[in-house]
Amino acid sequence: MEARSATPGLAPIDARANVATIRALVRRAANELLRVPGAAIPGVLAPTIFFLGLTAVFGNLALLPGFTTESYQSFVIPISLMQGAGFTGAATGVNLARDIEQGWFDRLLVSPAPRPVLLAGMVLSASARALVPATVVLVVGFAIGVHWPGVPGLLLALALAMGMGTLAALWGVTLALRYKTQSAAPLMQAGAFTAILMTTAYAPLDLMVGWLQEVARYNPVTQVVEAARQGFVEGGITWSDTWPGVLTLAGLIALMAFFALRQMAKTNE
């Protein structure tokens, strides 16, 4: 199997070289995590603080008639998992902007690696890194009484968090390639932040008020949140509650990958 060369006229690059490139980029991101652990702390702390804070502050919302669970922490934990993944993905965009500012990305672009391979390396690392805040949030959550979702429920929630990390990374990468500056960081973070919180983040759809209820109803990320939530609030997962979230996330990733690849193709044209 052969992949097309990034530059017409040059020899094609085989798939093994592409896999090696992706592995090297994932390894580089992992090294950042291992060698500069301080850099990962905000991405872990923020969703954990939000989880504990929202649970303490809004916990009594679960007393409202019509609330779908008595355990507000179980209701909120999927949001914190997605937030952690969102922050991790946005950080990928910020790191790319830093690499562009410092000229490192230019060196990657002149390498024979195809641009989709470079993109894959970046977003796969974000997908794996999303497990770090997710693990911390889950440990804290179970310690304060979050309902055990069962192994399938837990695996589904983690898989969806990884998918959200991928989506947020694609968004961050698109913006980094567009603006080429770390100053775009708030836009990268705000995108993930808004998409995740403008869902059924604080309360079930029927208990939301005003325009946000309509936004949440049509926000595709609501499907993802609800799919991740089912194990925590109902004690079991069903295919009918799972496939809309999985399909929506896959569609969003495909759409965002298209924009990221298009931006990649435009870079240094």
Q: In this structure, what token pair is assigned to residue 229?
A: 């939530």
Provide the mask over 73-112, with x wherever binding to other proteins is found by CB under 8 A and - wherever it is not: ----------------------------------------
209 binds other proteins (CB under 8 A): yes
Say if strands 13-14 and 2-3 run parallel, antiparallel, or are unpaired: antiparallel
220 binds other proteins (CB under 8 A): no
Query: Site size for other proteins, by CB under 8 A?
Result: 43
Please choose, from the candidates 198, 27, 200, 211, the residue with its C-alpha nearest in 3D space to the C-alpha of residue 125: 27
Q: How far is the CB of 193 from other proteins (least distance, A)?
A: 7
Torsion of CA 239, 241, 243, 247, to 10 degrees: -170
Provide the mask over 139-158, with x wherever binding to other proteins is found by CB under 8 A and - wherever it is not: --------------------
Residues 24-63 that bind other proteins (CB under 8 A): 41-42, 45-46, 49-50, 52-61, 63
Please choose, from the candidates 124, 122, 117, the residue with its C-alpha nearest in 3D space to the C-alpha of residue 5: 117
Task: For residues 145 and 110, give the distance between their C-alpha atoms in angstroms, rounded to a whole number.
Answer: 52
* Closer to other proteins by Cβ: residue 13 or 96: 96
- Specify the stretch interacting with other proteins by CB under 8 A; choose among 114-122, 155-163, 202-210, 221-229: 202-210
Q: How far is the CB of 139 from other proteins (least distance, A)?
A: 18
Q: Name residue 151's amino acid.
A: V
136 binds other proteins (CB under 8 A): no
Q: In this structure, what token pair is assigned to residue 126?
A: 């974000």
Return left, alpha or beta for 121; rule: phi > 0 is left, psi -120 to 50 is alpha, else beta: alpha
